[in-house]
Amino acid sequence: MNPSTALASVIVAALTDLGVRQVVLCPGSRSAPLAYALATAAHEKRVHLHVRIDERSAGFLALGLAKAVPGTPAAVITTSGTAVANLHPAVLEAAHAGVPLLVLSADRPHELRGAGASQTTDQVRLFGSALRWFAEIPAPHREPGQARAWRNVLARAVAAARGNPGADPGPVQLNVAFADPLTPDGAEADWPEPLTGSDGLTTVTAAAPPMPVRLSGSLRTVVLAGDDAGPEAAEVAAAGGWPLLAEPSSGARRDGAIGPYRLLLDRPDLGGAIERVLVYGRPTLSRPVSRLLARPGLDVVVVSARPEWTDAARNARLVVPAVVPAVTPAPGPTPSPAEDWARAWTAAGVAAAAAVDRLLDEEAAAGRLTGPLIAREVAAATGPADVLFAGSSNPIRDLDLAAGPFAPTARVLANRGLAGIDGTMSTASGVALARAAAGPRSPHAGGVVRCLVGDLTFLHDVGGLLVGPLEEPVQLQIVVVDDAGGGIFALLEHGARADRGERENADFERVFVTPQQVDLAALCAGYGVDHQVVDDVAGLRKALADPPPGISVIQVKVDRNGHRDLAERLKRVVQAS
Ligand SMILES: Cc1ncc(C[n+]2csc(CCOP(=O)(O)OP(=O)(O)O)c2C)c(N)n1
Ligand SMILES: [Mg+2]
């Protein structure tokens, strides 16, 4: 057996032994030994193998596969050269969101670097400081003791991706050099030592859970749950009797969460009276929240066990791994001022949500479908076994404003590590494939995986629709809010400038909104993806309830020119409520 083939078979066996079962492979020549080994492992059902031609989409697919099952890395494998660099966006997202992504980049033997050899560049630490760990496996030689060393590198890589011991999960790169020949020959038995086995495989486990910190209930406190906050945020809010402001992808937006909290934060008696905020996860969605977190004198307690905790305003007094509310005395006949205030938040939240619903319904009745209405309907269609993947830009913000509570077992995910508009459908596809792999007895069997994206987000990752005929089909329903461009910019300061003349308006359209006129139906047809346009609420509900097999697209056209006016009116009706 040649050394490259031996190395590849040790890598694939070690991956599966270490629990890495989801592998995305991109085609190429230098990575050929891994391709052969993976094809064999897939036949023997040792790995779930997914093959994708575009490394950028493949990276996000692996990200989604890893996100779907917390604590379980997924691997992505590429050939050498620009192929590796195409993984960079997914690696950065994984770094900031703390997702265990294992990159195996095939390389030429190191002596070919800098010598003009084809597809050969410096791949060493290509992703810079984004990596949790990096190692090189040099071109293999036929000598005893190597298999053990290779296995050990794999064990360290998987542990580092998982964040064990005591560190943060995230991306890891193994740069693996393969020397010719790259095609299998000979038998395993003629290698000087066994190619499978546990020799050299070290098991690494997480550090002990950190001790919680006790907080008293006398301050007017809210719990702010950003992306990936987890259910603890909701549990602590309930235990402390504190208002819960939970972003859609927090995992804490449950019964009792204040839906349109964003529109209540500027009220002096509600947002203005907050004395303490417990921050869970990564809140990124709105200016009122950033303003709150930057307020001088506010007691900001960040609850995070991650080294990159969220405190963009540099205003946190305390960063703790967990909190428990102090035991509250049994409620007496007269509630404390803080309890009264928490009740006022709840009542305001209920009234505001009703006001938002009414306005969106009136708009829909007048034939105007809007982003928040579509978001509300998509959220309402998200059942206890379903996954909703929220695209960046307006879709996740519209969910934040208009979605009701989610069932505790439903999962709402988003790429908020860096909030890119790239790779969204690929990440959602990874989640869908990992769900399917969990099998019919998983609690999520039969659930629908959906994503809600803007039109530019859709077009950015349209390559993610490419699933070859030999690949496992992806079950994903994609809802595209099509406002023919980047609608969010109309809502940011760029869209607000009243002093604009005709030329500035045209420039704004061209350099911020970037309008598009792509025929999505034709595009989908080209990819063999089911597509329909819906233009009323009944049609949308019907389409959401009945996803066809495979990837399908629901396109809902909305008028971008209405965004500002709707945002203003939503603010007004909430204030009035
Ligand atoms: C990879 C990447 N490029 C650029 C941006 C900046 N950006 C944020 S929102 C946005 C427009 C998104 O348009 P669309 O998906 O149609 O959503 P809409 O704003 O219309 O809701 C852009 C370009 C980004 N977040 N990520
Ligand atoms: Mg758009």
DSSP per residue, 426-449: HHHHHHHHHHHHT-TTSTTTT--E
| C-alpha of residue 445 to centroid of ligand 1, in Å | 32
Q: Could you read off the pLDDT of 357-372 as tens digits, one per residue?
A: 999 999 999 999 999 9
pLDDT band at 327 (very low <50, low <70, confident <90, very high): low
Average pLDDT over residues 332-355: 91
| Proximal ligand: closest to the CA of 89 | 1
And the tokens for 147? 């298999």
| C-alpha of residue 487 to centroid of ligand 2, in Å | 5
| C-alpha of residue 537 to centroid of ligand 2, in Å | 19
Measuring from atom 17 of ligand 1, which residue has the nearest CA? Answer: 454
Q: Give the nearest ligand 1 atom to 488 CA.
A: 19
And the tokens for 362? 């009136």
Q: Could you read off the pLDDT of 503-523 as tens digits, one per residue?
A: 988 999 999 999 999 999 999
Query: What's the pLDDT at 439?
Result: 80
- Torsion sign across C-alpha atoms 106, 109, 113, 115: negative
pLDDT band at 475 (very low <50, low <70, confident <90, very high): very high
Separation between Cα atoms, residue 526 and residue 505, nearest integer Å? 35
Mean residue pLDDT of the chain comes to 94
CB 106 within 8 A of CB 34: yes
pLDDT band at 326 (very low <50, low <70, confident <90, very high): confident
Q: Could you read off the pLDDT of 388-413 as tens digits, one per residue?
A: 999 999 999 999 999 999 999 999 99
CB 336 within 8 A of CB 504: no
Does residue 293 carry a pLDDT above 90?
A: yes
Contacts of 340 (CB under 8 A, 6+ apart): none
Q: Which of 56, 96, 392 has the most ligand 1 atoms within 8 A of CB, as the residue to mutate? A: 392
Contacts of 42 (CB under 8 A, 6+ apart): 48, 49
| C-alpha of residue 560 to centroid of ligand 2, in Å | 8
Query: What's the pLDDT at 207?
Result: 75
Average pLDDT over residues 193-209: 84
Separation between Cα atoms, residue 168 and residue 362, nearest integer Å? 47
Does residue 328 carry a pLDDT above 80?
A: no
Measuring from atom 12 of ligand 1, which residue has the nearest CA? Answer: 486
Measuring from atom 8 of ligand 1, which residue has the nearest CA? Answer: 393
Residue 171 one-letter amino acid: P
Contacts of 26 (CB under 8 A, 6+ apart): 51, 52, 53, 54, 55, 58, 76, 77, 78, 79, 83
Q: Could you read off the pLDDT of 445-474 as tens digits, one per residue?
A: 779 999 999 999 999 999 999 999 999 999
Q: Which of 488, 489, 509 has the most ligand 1 atoms within 8 A of CB, as the residue to mutate? A: 488
Separation between Cα atoms, residue 100 and residue 91, nearest integer Å? 10
| C-alpha of residue 416 to centroid of ligand 1, in Å | 13
| C-alpha of residue 452 to centroid of ligand 1, in Å | 13
Phi-psi region of 256 (alpha: psi -120 to 50; beta: other; left: phi over 0): left
Q: Which of 373, 415, 421 has the most ligand 1 atoms within 8 A of CB, as the residue to mutate? A: 421
Does residue 295 carry a pLDDT above 90?
A: yes
Q: Could you read off the pLDDT of 121-168 as tens digits, one per residue?
A: 999 999 999 999 999 999 999 998 999 999 999 999 999 999 988 889
| C-alpha of residue 451 to centroid of ligand 2, in Å | 15
Query: What's the pLDDT at 251?
Result: 98
Ligand 1 binding pocket (C-beta < 6 A) is 392-394, 419-422, 454-457, 483, 486-488
Does residue 116 carry a pLDDT above 90?
A: no
Q: How far is CA 565 from CA 50, 150, 363, 490, in A?
A: 45, 61, 12, 10
Which range, of 52-56, 198-202, 269-273, averages the lowest pLDDT? 198-202
| Nearest by Cα to 219 from 337, 138, 113, 350 | 337
Measuring from atom 23 of ligand 1, which residue has the nearest CA? Answer: 486
Does residue 202 carry a pLDDT above 80?
A: yes
And the tokens for 457? 């987000």
Contacts of 50 (CB under 8 A, 6+ apart): 22, 23, 24, 25, 58, 61, 65, 433, 471, 472
